[in-house]
Amino acid sequence: MHIVVCVKQVPDSGQIRVHPVTNTIMRQGVPTIINPYDLFSLEEALRLRDKHGGEVTVVTMGPPMADQALRKCLTFGADRAVLLTDRFFAGSDTLATSYALGQLIEKVSATWGAPDIIFCGKQTIDGDTAQVGPGIAKRLNLLQLTYVQKIEDFDFDKKEITVHRRAEGGIQVLKTKLPCLVTMLEGTNEMRRGTMADALRAARAGIITWSAADAGITNLALCGLKGSPTIVKKVFAPPARAEKAFQIEVADKSYEDICDALLGEVYKRQPALEQDMVKMAPGY
């Protein structure tokens, strides 16, 4: 069995600062991490491999330093890692990204065998679009199972997979055929720590690095800014509210008085609320 997992290196957005004048992201010194949503997919891939045999190939598209993220995946136990990096990919939107990753996976297939299953993260924490997974599936003409909470059944001989997919108001139990693309929901599993042997292997392993040409991508018009139908015209900080909060007087006041004052303020600002609350409240 061959499993491909797509990951992305992202800035740790908890530590992102925005330049107050230019409204640009101040990237200097912001540490990068593997997109946290990708780890649930990687762990699921490793579990399938451990149970059914085969290999896990981790792929990413990004700047040369994205090899750090791939090396980390190797320490978790992935078998092989491929980085697609080229200046032609700069500025890719979701459509251009799905093209490049689709082409990359084609080349991976030609080199190490066609994947039976491809995993992507549900979404990234910097882009947040959740569109690249479905995009890759379409590019490769694969079936897709998104927001998967659990792989209920995996029959490699019959090439069938049954999953629990999160939908509005409940869980869809879906059965489909391999090969397919899966995105896992967060919190579905916990990433393993990786063995000492994996860590040693990862330290020594070479990250396979391909340029666009290496990956057989010749139509550069479909890559990067050129291949992106969407155009970012304006970037700005969320507007601040004009006034600060009205503060309820607290000095030397009992909690009872503070709460009475608060209720007065609430009902003054939302006059209809008091009557409606009586209807909403469970009743005493």
Ligand X SMILES: Cc1cc2nc3c(=O)[nH]c(=O)nc-3n(C[C@H](O)[C@H](O)[C@H](O)COP(=O)(O)OP(=O)(O)OC[C@H]3O[C@@H](n4cnc5c(N)ncnc54)[C@H](O)[C@@H]3O)c2cc1C
Q: Which residue is nearest to ligand X (CB)?
A: 14
Residue by residue, DSSP assigns 44-56 as: HHHHHHHHH--EE
> In this structure, what token pair is assigned to residue 140?
């490769």
Using an 8 Å Cβ cutoff, are 118 and 184 in contact? no
What does the alpha-carbon distance between residue 177 and residue 109 come to, in Å, rounded to a whole number?
Answer: 18
In the complex, minimum distance from the CB of residue 147 to ligand X, in angstroms, rounded to a whole number: 17
Q: Which of 230, 223, 34, 5 is nearest to 126 (CA)?
A: 34
**Phi, psi (degrees; rounded to nearest 5) at 69:** -65, -40
CB of 121 vs ligand X, minimal distance in Å: 13
Residue 17 or 51: the one with the smaller Cβ distance to other proteins is: 17
Rounded to a whole number of angstroms, the minimum distance from the CB of residue 119 to other proteins is: 16
Give the CB-side neighbour count of residue 284, counting CA atoms within 13 A. Answer: 3
Note if the bond before 179 is cis, omega within 30 degrees.
yes
Residue 125 as a binder of ligand X (CB under 6 A): the answer is yes
Looking at residue 79, its amino acid is D
Cβ of residue 5: shortest distance to other proteins, in angstroms?
16
CB of 109 to ligand X, least distance (A): 33
Interacting residue with other proteins among 70, 108, 132, 212 (CB under 8 A): 132
124's contact among ligand X, other proteins, none, with CB below 5 to 8 A by partner kind, is: other proteins
Query: Residue 206 interacts with other proteins (CB under 8 A)?
Result: no
Asked if 248 contacts 256 with a C-beta cutoff of 8 angstroms, the reply is no
**Pick 14 or 271: Cβ nearer ligand X:** 14
> Does 150 sit near other proteins (CB under 8 A)?
no
Q: Does 190 bind other proteins (CB under 8 A)?
A: no
The burial of 223, by beta-carbon neighbours within 10 Å (0-12 exposed, 13-18 middle, 19 or more buried), is given as buried
Among positions 41, 75, 103, 144, the unique one binding other proteins when judged by CB under 8 A: 144
The CA distance from 181 to 196, in Å, is 30
Q: Which does 246 bind (CB under 5 to 8 A by kind): ligand X, other proteins, none?
A: other proteins
Q: Which residue number, 48 or 180, has a Cβ lying nearer to other proteins?
A: 180
Contact with other proteins (CB under 8 A): which of 109, 186, 205, 209? 186
Q: Is 159 left (phi over 0), alpha (psi -120 to 50) or beta?
A: left
Residue range at the interface with other proteins (CB under 8 A); choices 67-75, 109-117, 137-145, 189-197: 137-145
Q: How many CB atoms lie within 10 A of CB 234?
A: 5
Given a contact cutoff of 8 angstroms between Cβ atoms, the answer to whether 208 and 80 are in contact is yes
Judged by CB under 8 A, does residue 282 bind other proteins?
Answer: yes
- Applying the rule CB under 6 A, the residues between 5 and 34 that interact with ligand X are 13-14
Q: Binding to other proteins (CB under 8 A): which residues in 1-40?
A: 8, 11, 13-14, 16-18, 22-25
Which chain residues interact with ligand X by CB under 6 A? 13-14, 125
